[in-house]
Copies of this chain bind each other. A is one copy, B any other.
């Protein structure tokens, strides 16, 4: 791991703690590496919609935030990413004790990156793919 990658790792960890909406929801960074990132969320009643399944907004928040983190691992120093659009397919009703999200960069780039995130719901020890997101992120020069 280079010094630059180490910095990204710390920056991403801080992003999960410092982004108020992500921290408030309880989404926690699990692990990351070059081009990928994983996060988890212990589900509570507040994450639900009226029918007792996880609200699509929770799945979107988790999948989008992980996509940004995964893209960040591919950046050079002085760069940052910002999601400009995403599409999410809600494949199954999401129920259970927890969610896990894995984001993987499909195409890194100097001006745009494309990232895919998969969200899995764990119920009684069984994990099901419940949503898949594809995001386009703009790469910005911050200095």
Contacts and interface: CB of A to CB of B under 8 A. Distances in A.
A51 to B, nearest CB: 9
Given A46-B21, A90-B85, A61 B65 contact: no
A29 to B, nearest CB: 13
Contact of A87 (B15, B18, B46, B86): B86
Copies of this polypeptide in the complex: 4
A89 interface: yes
Contacts of A111: 111, 138
A48 interface: yes
Chain A interface secondary structure, helix, strand, loop or mixed?
mixed
Given A85-B85, A90-B84, A91-B114, A57 B60 contact: yes
A47 B23 CA distance: 10
Contacts of A15: 50
Nearest to A15: B50
Interface in A36-62: 45-50, 55-58, 60-62
